[in-house]
Structure 1
Amino acid sequence: MLLTKEMLAHLVMNFFIAFGVMIGGALIGGIGAFLIGKPVLSEIFSLSNSLKIWAIVAAIGGSFDAITKIESGLFSGVHEDVYRTLAMLLVAFCGAQSGSILLRWIVGDPV
């Protein structure tokens, strides 16, 4: 897989999009929990677990496009698309996991 400047920029963007969805979604959800009278820290902790898949999907730009690229790459013999899509998924997962770890570190374990 040839790592071009554009591909590296795309991977960095995917990481930070997933990271931002995790941090922003959980913190804004915590504000919502405060407004309705739920415990804020435990709600942020819960949201950090449930938002991870949505952060990955948001970072790769929709799940069907990524699955289509993997399928076309596998069956047409062009493995470059498969490697790029898997790299994007891995980087998006790392961004979501980093956001989740940061949120857990900030709020502790409010169980």
Structure 2
Amino acid sequence: MASFISKCLLDFLVAFGVVLGGTMLAGICAVLTLEPPAWRMASVAEQIKIWALVAAIGGTIDPIRAIETNFIEGHISPAIKQIMYIVCAFTGAHVGSTLIQWICKGGSNG
């Protein structure tokens, strides 16, 4: 069980870090190219979410294949674990994107 939670946390934080790191570097790029950093960062935060998910789960189709194989063979528990890893990675990417969106708004209510 500890291994499962550890992997879920790892997937969450890797996806979160990819979104955060990618958008911060996009903000630096915007400053260097004289663009509005908040606009560029908000845009990249939305675009990079799927890539953060892919990076967190391993970057290959193997996790999806593992779900299919385990499900077809009747092994539901490993399939559910793989789905939970994907959900954790998606949640990390979404939380990172939401955080960037919130920061780029400047905390305003609009």
Aligned twin of 2:59: 62
Letter in 2 for 1:32: C
Percent identity between matched residues is 35
Render the CA deviation track for 1:4-55: whole Å, top value 9, x for unaligned.
Answer: 1111111011111011011110011111122122221100000011011011
Aligned twin of 2:20: 23
Runs of 4+ in 1 over 4 A off after TM superposition: none
Ranges in structure 1 where 5+ consecutive residues have no aligned partner: none
In the alignment, which of 64, 68, 72 is matched to residue 69 of structure 2?
72
Check if 1:11 corresponds to 2:11. Answer: no
Distance 1:63 1:72 in 2: 15
Ranges in structure 2 where 5+ consecutive residues have no aligned partner: none
Letter in 2 for 1:85: Q
RMSD: 1.2
Distance 1:108 1:63 in 2: 34
Task: Identify the range of structure 1 (78-87 vs 43-52) with the bigger mean alpha-carbon deviation.
Answer: 78-87
In the alignment, which of 6, 31, 41 is matched to residue 44 of structure 1?
41
In the alignment, which of 82, 87, 97 is matched to residue 84 of structure 2?
87
In the alignment, which of 85, 101, 106 is matched to residue 103 of structure 2?
106
Render the CA deviation track for 1:49-82: whole Å, top value 9, x for unaligned.
Answer: 1011011111111240111111101211111221
Please state whether the residue corresponding to 2:97 is helix, strand or coil.
helix
Letter in 2 for 1:59: A
Distance 1:13 1:57 in 2: 13
Task: Identify the range of structure 1 (35-44 vs 46-55) with the bigger mean alpha-carbon deviation.
Answer: 35-44
TM-score normalised per structure 1:
0.90
